[in-house]
């Protein structure tokens, strides 16, 4: 995908260089990303917002939705498509491979969101299939997405091979594990050391994802969200060289 699309070049380039080489304030960056998404054209567009646990995906998606003018926005949380606990933990509760392969019900996500909201879809979708707290599947009444909706899908592992072809545009939020573990400790009470044995299911699973998918190479945009007030666009080369 182009890293500086002609339709929005005046927003994304500066003095012949990509604005990704400079730090920009959050609101301005969100505006620039919204402009680039709108350049994808009319009709419904599927946008992935990917990142590890604690990278700030939900907040980024919410703020990005507010930055998109004159188009309806539908936000999907992939955590509402979790497998039930028995399936998620079938390889063991501490298994990194299980976290990478068994966390989400991709068949349900495809059937209820990606197919109906993708090109040529009916627009009739269901926003969730799982009640995490009760550990049961649910069947929600279908909703209708406008024909020109931007559909923001936020969650982990979204640049895996079987999902890649659905996205009209995608973002990978790149944040080092030392920072995401710190955020998770504040949010969930987990250990702040990403190398602690209790974190290896999650950190190890993400490293398997990185090895398999290299999301920074597949995303339309890579955003360094280490400092949320001052996010910046990263090149895939810079992201690839980051220590994780």
Structural domain contains residue 120: no
Structural domain contains residue 113: no
Structural domain contains residue 186: yes
pTM of the model: 0.89
What is the count of structural domains for the chain?
1
Question: Domain span at residue 18?
Answer: 6-77+148-235
Is residue 30 within 8 Å of residue 19, measured between CB atoms?
no
pLDDT digits (tens, 9 = 90+) for 67-83: 998 899 999 999 999 99
- Mean pLDDT within 87-113: 98
Structural domain contains residue 114: no
Q: What is the CATH number of the domain that holds 61?
A: 3.40.50.300
pLDDT at 236: 92
Q: Which of 84-88, 135-139, 219-223, 230-234 has the lowest mean pLDDT?
A: 230-234
- Mean pLDDT within 42-54: 97
What DSSP line would sit under 54-110, residue for residue? Answer: TS-HHHHHHHHHHH--SS-EEEEEGGGGBPPHHHHTTT-TT-HHHHHHHSB-HHHHI
For 205-223, letters b (16+ CB in 10 Å) and e give: bbbbbbeebebbebbbbbb
Structural domain contains residue 226: yes
């Amino acid at each position: 995908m182009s890293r500086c699309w002609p339709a929005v070049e005046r927003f994304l380039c500066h003095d012949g260089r990509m604005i990704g080489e400079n730090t920009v304030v959050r609101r301005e960056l969100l505006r620039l990303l919204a402009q680039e998404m709108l350049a994808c054209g009319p009709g419904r567009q599927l946008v992935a917002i990917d990142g590890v646990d604690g990278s700030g995906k939900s907040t980024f998606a919410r703020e990005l939705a507010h930055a998109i003018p004159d188009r309806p926005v539908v936000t999907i949380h992939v955590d509402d498509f979790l497998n039930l606990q028995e399936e998620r933990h079938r390889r063991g509760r501490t298994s990194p491979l299980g976290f990478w392969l068994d966390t989400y019900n991709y068949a349900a996500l495809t059937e209820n969101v990606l197919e109906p909201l993708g090109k040529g879809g009916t627009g009739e979708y269901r926003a969730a299939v799982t009640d995490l707290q009760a550990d049961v599947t649910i069947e929600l009444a279908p909703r209708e997405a406008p024909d020109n909706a931007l559909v923001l899908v936020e969650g982990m592992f979204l640049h895996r091979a079987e999902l890649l072809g659905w996205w009209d545009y995608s973002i990978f939020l790149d944040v080092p594990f030392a920072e995401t573990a710190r955020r998770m400790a504040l949010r969930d009470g987990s250990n702040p050391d990403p190398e602690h044995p209790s974190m290896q299911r999650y950190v190890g699973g993400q490293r398997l994802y990185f090895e398999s998918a290299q999301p920074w190479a597949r995303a339309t945009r890579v955003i360094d969200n280490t400092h949320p007030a001052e996010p910046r666009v990263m090149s895939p080369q810079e992201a690839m060289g980051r220590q994780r």
